Amino acid sequence: MTKVFKELGHFKIGIIFIVITVIGNVIASLALPNYLSTIINESIPNKDVLGIISIGGTMLIFVLIGAVCNIATGYFSSKVSMGLGKNMRSNVFRKIQYFSQTEFDQFSTSSLITRTNNDIIQVQNFINMLLRVSLMAPFMFVGGIIMALSKSATMSMILLISMPVMIVVVLLIGKFATPLSKKMQEKIDKINLVTREKLTGIRVARAFGTEDYETERFKEVNADFMKNSIKMNTLMGAMTPVLSLVLYATTVALLAFGGYQIVTTINGIMIGDVIAVIQYVMQIMMSVMLLSMIFVMYPRAAVSAARINEVMDTVEAIQEPAIPASIPQEKGVLEFKDVVFGFEGADHPVIKNISFTSNPGEITAIIGSTGCGKSVLINLIPRFYDVLSGEILLDGINIKNYKIEDLRKKIGYVPQKAFLFKGTISDNIQFGDENASEDRIEEAIRIAQSYDFVTAKEGGFEAPIAQGGSNVSGGQKQRLAIARAIVRKPEVYIFDDSFSALDFKTDAALRSALMKEAKEATVILVAQRVSTIMHANRILVMENGQCVGMGKHEDLLKTCDVYKEIVYSQLSKEEA
Amino acid sequence: MKKSKTLDFKVIFGRLFAFMKPYRKGLIVSIIFIVLASMFNSFAPFILGKATDAMIHLVVGGEPSSVGIKNFITILIVLSICYALYSVFKYFSTHIMVRVSQKTIYDIRNRVDDKLKKLPLNYFDTNTYGDILSRITNDVDTISNSLQQSLDQIVTSVTSLIFILIMMLAISPVLTLIGVITVPMALVISMKIAQKAQRFFKEQQDTLGDINGYVEEMYTGHNVISAFSKEEDVIQDFEVTNHELYQSGWKSQFLSSTLMPITQAMTNLGYVGVAVVSGILVISGKMTVGMIQSFIQYLRQFSQPINQTVQISNVLQSTAAAAARIFEFLDEKEEIAEANPSEFPEVVDGTVDFEHVKFGYLPYQTLMHDVSLHVEPGSKVAIVGPTGAGKTTLINLLLRFYDINDGSIRMNGVDVRKMKRAELREIFGMVLQDTWLFTGTIRENIRYGKLNATDEEVINAAKAAHADEFIRMLPGGYDMVLQEGATNIAQGERQLLTIARAILSDAPIMILDEATSSIDTRTEVLIQDAMATLMKGRTSFVIAHRLSTIRDADMIIYMQSGDIKETGTHESLLAANGLYAKLYNSQFAENNG
């Protein structure tokens, strides 16, 4: 939260205005009882009607000042809190755009989304509340006490007892409410979790007839939430009666003490003063009650702020080189030299001593079991992750020495999960090369075996793609993602298991069309299906991060047991 | 689909209150307490004024007056009692109300949850999880937040307004007029502003929706953005929407923030008016100083409920909207009632018959025209065909997730529609491609197949599924708690757990949906072996992707556009040289080349 307050530093002027207007409002509010007491103490005993009217005029001015200040507070605090939210959102979004895969793994995508959306809104609302409402409390508190003292120092002695009592009550409630409020969040998350699971597992639950078990599971978390919620709300609900009791006890004490003074000193204190002091006490009390709203909001906002800071404080694992290398003339030679990679904090490296060279016009295929590191291996090429030791050279230069953008310009990457953006089909293809001509887009679409289904769509190339590409099938998505990579004419193609949703026929047709297109490019291809890779110039067989065989299909069948095992699990001996 | 476009407040709140019925005693007591509390609270300023007046009479002619003192003390005691009673009633009213409303919410949540199991599967296939989830969580939350506060506030506001008005009128009708004249003005202005704010508020909500959608999309496609170096473009687009959000955001915030100052200013105007007029009235002897004090207090108290009215009307609207969505959900059509009396086959050995089954997900769209099939006990049925051919549909019908339109499906001769759903489904065990596991221990997850299974049975099932070995290697073993989505174990391991679960269920018929990809070879072998164990001696229906499974099947069903086109063994179908043969050959032309 302190970070957020520092962030508020950018809004110094706005905050200064807020403080000024809040003070203005406090002064105006406190002035009214003061004038009232003058009317009672002076004008009434003197039967001075004109005096009363002129005091009334002065009071009107204060009412006006108060209203203007109050509205101005709302204006400035809206601008400041929304401005703060905007800045934070902007910073967080920018920061995350330059995150590498390492950071996405660390936080998880959904968590990053929540941090950018909900968490910032939480903080923004909290700040708004703080500026608009709670800031008033301390000023009202101090101002009220000063005014009370000026009216009657002796009577104000009572405040010395009741005010600390009030502060203690508020702090105590805050102390107990904070952890409860935190727990509320956890318990509601739990309810959401169980519900989500029920929805995704509905078929399983019905097939196994465990609906009643599921109901019990839900009831349990629901009851847990209810209990906590009752505790929390009872506590917060106690605030008003308890504070009121303190306030009213103070009032009675003030009256009694005032009466005592009148009796003992004979007219030592004016009635108007008693009335004014009682009103000050009430105003102070009101502002303290408003302050207490913060206790409900603070824990959630603090958690959110911490989650945002976590993002902002992350040091990206991938850094730009200090002096970027100039782009070499050579084209499409990719070399892995003794590459080792491990995730942070893991005991064992995921990739151990991989070396190979792939030249333009060649296909290098990587196969192996899940978790063997093949996907990670190719994700090292566009520097989604950085190698632990060893080096990867592209056209003779270590990829770490390229400007990241220059490096990635050379690469046509097709991710494991084909991802399309909202927009048209041609928007999505142009994502690969924004200057691509219509002809070039069509060419790419044809190579990716997408021409038929694209033209069959209403709007053709301009047919809309829904968010996440949810209006095209998995296979179509993969093909469009491939077209997007083709359109940039990259030096290095990377296919991360990008043919998995294609049927065998399309898979074959696409590969043969691609080979014609990619004559001068290096193709790196990860696949599960043997049929997809068996014609590659070089097959890298991986197991547990190690290369256990490299060569052509026929050779590996003879020399590499792991490869043989994979092949026979998919094809019969004759087919292989 | 939408039943009512305009929210019928009466009906909605009527139904909402119906949920409170079990707690009506508490509710009534709480409301009585609230009324009493506001009564005492409204009465107190009057006595306070009396106390002030009595103060003046403490000293008569420069001498303390014993009558005056006695009188003063009595009034103070009455005042104290009044305050104390207010606090006590206020405390207990909230105390009870919290319980009433939280229990009501608990019931609503359970009811919504309960509805989940009564809905036909169709509902889940045609509605997004996000939408259903938002009804169960967000909408119930909205009601929860407003129920207890609003109810309390409404009763307090209404009774306070009445009591205060009575007291004010009793003190001075003229002052009441002055004090209250500003109230309608404040209300009108507030309403006008609220209307205007509404426009910006909607704009803000819309932009917020845009920005949330944008963030979600861009984060999901992050590696693509990085790969194509589009970060700056994306940020530029984001900044534009972000700025729009700021503009509409601060405007709506500002406008709604003006409500309080305006009502406050109006009250203050009343305050000044009352101060001046009452001062003059006191001079002319028509009222006492104490009355001024009482009146000023009333004025302050009066503004509070007015302030809240605007707020509450907003809250009530969103509550009604949320409640309407929940009731809409609760009113969804449920599964067809169970057959009564129900039947159950005397012997269940896995004999399954489809007779002229006709089915469509939508009433006007028939998918399956005429499917007939006889499955012998213990046989392995492989279902193949292109996506959308109706493979999953066949499974949906077997388990009676959907009811057929015509024809019949029989288990050992008994029509599934004559059986109780739960009893029918007990015949089946299931392993699906998406390995559903819940957050709980591994033991609990396996036991899900048979809830009353002993620990030993669980372990035996795990052993049979080749899962025991890896489970023992995990921290905590069988008691390791799986995270959401079971992301703390590998995909293949998840698959093994679901197989163990199916083995434990020991059902006569197994339904298997083979995984297509992304499982390592070693685990793959284990899975295949475990699946084989699972199928041994049982009838099994397999949505097959592996050629090995297909070749071994006792019966292959080739499906296309909803219907069964060919049935037979691998050899017989190849020999027939039909659709299956074509599929088989096209897939392997490549591999043989």
Count of domains in chain A?
A: 2
Structure confidence at residue B3 (pLDDT): 41
Do residue A105 and residue A175 come from a single domain? yes
B128 belongs to a structural domain = no
pLDDT at B4: 43
Among B258, B246, B259, B139, residue whose Cα is nearest residue B203: B246
Ranges A367-376, A500-509, B290-299, B405-414: which has the least confidence? A367-376
Quote the tokens at residue B440. 């709980």
* pLDDT score recorded for residue A470: 74
Q: What's the CA gap between A352 and A373, in Å, rounded? A: 9
Note the pLDDT of residue A371: 61
Domain membership flag for residue A399: yes
CB atoms within 10 A of CB B5: 5
Cα angle A42, A45, A50 (rounded to 5 degrees) comes to 65
Interface touch A245/B524, C-beta < 8 Å: no
Residues of A in contact with B216 (CB under 8 A): 113, 467
Domain presence at residue B575: no
**Distance of alpha carbon B388 from the chain centroid:** 31
**Residue B106: its pLDDT value, please?**
93
Distance from CA of A49 to the nearest CA of B (A): 6
Please report whether residue B218 resides in a domain: yes
Residue A446 near residue A513 (C-beta atoms within 8 A): yes
Is residue A92 pLDDT above 90, yes or no? yes
Chain A environment of B242 (Cβ under 8 Å) = 86, 89-90, 93
The reply to whether residue B227 touches residue A201, judged by beta carbons under 8 angstroms, is no
Q: Which of A202, A209, A213 is nearest to B424 (CA)?
A: A209
B402 located within any domain? no
B430 contact residues in A (CB cutoff 8 A): 203-204, 207-208
- Residue A28: pLDDT band by 50, 70, 90 thresholds? very high
**Which residue in A258, A36, A266 sits closest to A147, CA to CA?**
A36
Closest CA to B274 of B352, B360, B182, B195: B182
- What is the reported pLDDT for B93? 94
* Structural domain ending residue among the three candidates A280, A312, A344: A312
Residues A459 and A532 grouped into a single domain: yes
Neighbour count for residue B11 (Cβ, 10 Å): 14
Question: Would A95 be classed as within a structural domain?
Answer: yes
* Closest CA–CA distance from residue B173 to any residue of chain A (Å): 20
Domain count within chain B: 1
Residue A167 and residue A297 in one domain:
yes
* pLDDT at A185 exceeding the cut of 70: yes
Residues A306 and A361 in one domain: no
- Scanning A39-135, the segments in alpha helix (DSSP H) are 44-46, 49-97, 101-107, 109-114, 120-129
Q: Does residue A308 surpass a pLDDT of 60? A: yes
B63 belongs to a structural domain: no
Residue of A nearest to B251 (CA): A78
Q: How far is CA B571 from the centre of its chain?
A: 52
Dihedral of alpha carbons A328, A334, A337, A339, sign: positive
Pairwise CB contact (< 8 Å): B95 & A215: no
DSSP of B94-107, one letter per residue?
Answer: HHHHHHHHHHHHHH
Query: Which residue in B219, B272, B279 is closest to A113 by CB distance?
Result: B219
Question: What are the pLDDT digits (tens) for A431-465?
Answer: 888 888 999 999 999 999 999 889 888 888 999 88
Residue A522 is predicted with a pLDDT of: 93
Q: Quick check: A324 and A406 in contact, CB under 8 A? A: yes
CB contact under 8 A, A199 and B116: yes
The answer, as to whether pTM is greater than 0.90, is no
Q: Same domain for A193 and A275? A: yes
Kindly tell me if the per-residue pLDDT of A538 is higher than 60: yes
Structural domain includes residue B256: yes
Domain identity same for A342 and A260: no
Structure tokens at A430: 């142009």
Q: Which candidate in A11, A60, A193, A206 is best for mutational testing of the B interface (most B CBs within 10 A)? A: A206
Q: Structural domain of residue A506, as residue ranges?
A: 334-570
Q: Are residues A439 and A494 in the same domain?
A: yes
CA distance B382 to B513: 10
Q: At what angle do helices A271-312 and B289-330 cross, to 10 degrees?
A: 30
In a domain, B436, yes or no: no
Do A269 and A367 lie in one domain? The reply is: no
Percent of chain B with pLDDT over 70: 95
Note whether residue A180 is domain-resident. yes
Residue B354: half-sphere exposure toward Cβ, Cα within 13 Å: 23
Tell me how far apart the alpha carbons of residues B326 and A263 are, in angstroms, rounded to a whole number: 65
What pLDDT is stored for residue B415 in this prediction? 92
Say yes or no: A348 and A257 in one domain. no
Q: What residues are paired with B510 via a beta bridge?
A: B429, B540
Domain membership flag for residue A320 = no
Asked if the structure places residue A326 within a domain, the reply is no
pLDDT in tens, B66-110: 888 899 999 999 999 999 999 999 999 999 999 999 999 999 999
Amino acid B520: pLDDT:
61
Q: Is residue A317 part of a domain?
A: no
- Check whether residue A442 and residue A514 sit in a common domain: yes
pLDDT at B1: 36
Domain housing B234: 173-286
For residues A77 and A124, membership in a common domain is answered with: yes
Residues 1-30 (B) with a CB less than 8 A from some CB of A: none
> Would A321 be classed as within a structural domain?
no
**CATH assignment at residue A57:** 1.20.1560.10
My answer on whether A138 and A66 are in the same domain is: yes
Pick the closest to residue B566 from B575, B556, B553 (CA basis).
B556
Rg of chain A over Cα atoms, rounded to whole angstroms, equals 36
B423 within some domain: no
Peptide bond into B45 cis (omega under 30): no
Give me the CATH number covering residue A362.
3.40.50.300
Chain A positions in Cβ-Cβ contact with residue B540 (cut-off 8 Å): none
pLDDT digits (tens, 9 = 90+) for A309-323: 999 999 888 888 888
d(CA A91, CA A4) in angstroms, rounded, equals: 12
> Residue A395 is encoded by which pair of tokens?
């056209």
Among left, alpha and beta (phi > 0; psi -120 to 50; other), residue A345 is left
C-alpha dihedral (A149, A154, A158, A159), degrees to nearest 10: 10
